Amino acid sequence: MNDTSHAGGAASLDVSIASKDYHSASGWPLRALEDLRLTLPAGKAGAVVGPSGCGKTTLLRLIAGLDKDYVGRIALPEHGRLGMVFQEPRLLPWRSVIDNIRIAAPHAREEDIAALLDELGLAAHGSHFPRELSLGLARRVALARALAVKPDLLLLDEPLVSLDAALAEALREMIARLIDERRITTLIVTHDLGEAIALGDRIFLLSPRPARVVATIDVPTPRGQLGKEAAEKIEAQARAVYQGENSHQGKSSPR
């Protein structure tokens, strides 16, 4: 049994998953999430960090309503309008950049789409098709598509994965600026602690499967003024949590 509700006002994102099971090829149940709880205040950015395969994407799919087969409760912020960026851009190859955005946000004004493209450095690519875009540009289009719906909650599933270091840093800075300027409640999934610290106001550390939140770390803001020493201290704190978990689990921690 599950319950997903759209809270009124500027409510937080509240997630309480008692259990989420899959069935293996042999038919035996495989538990992905168990006793997982997190709260993210309205307008804040949260980063979910955990070992590979622990259930981070599963959690995001539950919050997005793409998978309703779980036991628990999820309360979405405000009106619950969602924007989501998947690990792969998932653009329609036979549609232009602008048309990919219009399909997601059919009621968006032309001037708003143009402003969004300009803000994301895509003004010259509106008529291009996905095959004409680099991976970095395609990821920006996926982000523009998610923002065009004017979401109350923005979900980002490893938005920088597979990008080289320079492109990843440029896109990370762009996402950080958008989070600060728009104050959209945002939940980011990543396996990279440095990325989580750079983007999140609050970091949720997940255990190996079945995933649960083993620690919550608040990151001092404003984000752009977090010094190297402070960031390193937060990373050391997170690694200490995982070292304690690993002594019991025998698993590797995020990098």
Kind of pairing, strands 71-76 and 13-23? Answer: antiparallel
Dmax (CA) for the chain in angstroms is 55
Residue 54 and residue 246 in contact, taking contact as beta carbons nearer than 8 Å: no
Helix (H) or strand (E) holding 243: helix 228-249
My answer on whether omega of the bond before 208 falls inside 30° of 0, hence cis, is no
The single residue listed with the structure tokens 């920088």 is 160
53 dihedral zone (left: phi>0; alpha: psi -120 to 50; beta): left
CA separation for the pair 145, 130 (Å, rounded): 13
**Whole-number pLDDT of residue 58:** 94
Instruction: Evaluate whether 117 touches 127 at the Cβ level (below 8 Å).
Output: no
Residue 162 amino acid letter: S
pLDDT at residue 247 in the model: 56
Pick the CATH number of 2-81+154-249 from 3.40.190.10, 3.40.50.300, 3.40.50.720, 3.90.1150.10: 3.40.50.300
The pTM (predicted TM-score) of the whole model is 0.89
At residue 178, the pLDDT reads: 85
Q: Please report the pLDDT score of residue 34 as a whole number.
A: 96
DSSP state of 211: B
Tokens at 84, concatenated? 């989501």
* Per-residue model confidence (pLDDT) at position 26: 78
| pLDDT values of the chain reduced to their tens digit, one per residue, 255 residues | 666 665 554 578 999 999 999 887 777 888 999 999 999 999 999 999 998 889 999 999 999 999 999 999 999 987 778 999 998 899 999 999 999 999 999 999 999 999 999 989 999 999 999 999 999 999 999 999 999 999 999 999 998 887 888 888 888 888 888 888 888 999 999 988 989 998 999 999 999 999 999 999 999 877 767 788 888 899 899 989 887 766 555 555 676
